[in-house]
Amino acid sequence: MGSSNFVRFCLVFSPICSLMSANDFYYSAKYEDDEYEYRHVHVTKEVAKLIPKNRLMSESEWRSLGIQQSPGWIHYMIHSPERHVLLFRRPLPKPQITEKKRGKQTISNCA
């Protein structure tokens, strides 16, 4: 389903989308590696039917389904056996390295 078809599909089914709330979904705890922070979201079977089958969703698309997260999350993977589980990630903040003027001690501050 192309992007414009997806938007039309959501508009037709907007009563379903508008009835969904963040409480209808399961949001995993956040977990991370050296580069990214991750989380997954389990959506209802009704919402899972609205997920495009062969492409990732933009932020505006997954928000239109009722998924609520802070900014910066990217839908990065489709888990085909469980289409109701959406996988998200966002880059971890880069530590800022500053040098103290008194001596050569380096301090690492996380933003």
User: What is the pLDDT averaged over residues 44-60?
Assistant: 95
Q: What is the pLDDT of residues 53-105, one digit of tens each?
A: 889 999 999 999 999 999 999 999 988 889 999 999 999 998 887 665 555 55
CA–CA separation, 85 and 71 (whole Å): 19
pTM for the model: 0.67
Tokens of 100: 């103290």
What does the pLDDT average to over 39-65?
95
Q: Tell the CATH topology of 3-110.
A: Cyclin-Dependent Kinase Subunit Type 2 (3.30.170)
How high is the pLDDT of residue 1? Answer: 47
Residue spans per domain, the chain: 3-110
Which of 84, 89, 87, 22 has the alpha carbon at shortest distance from 50? 84
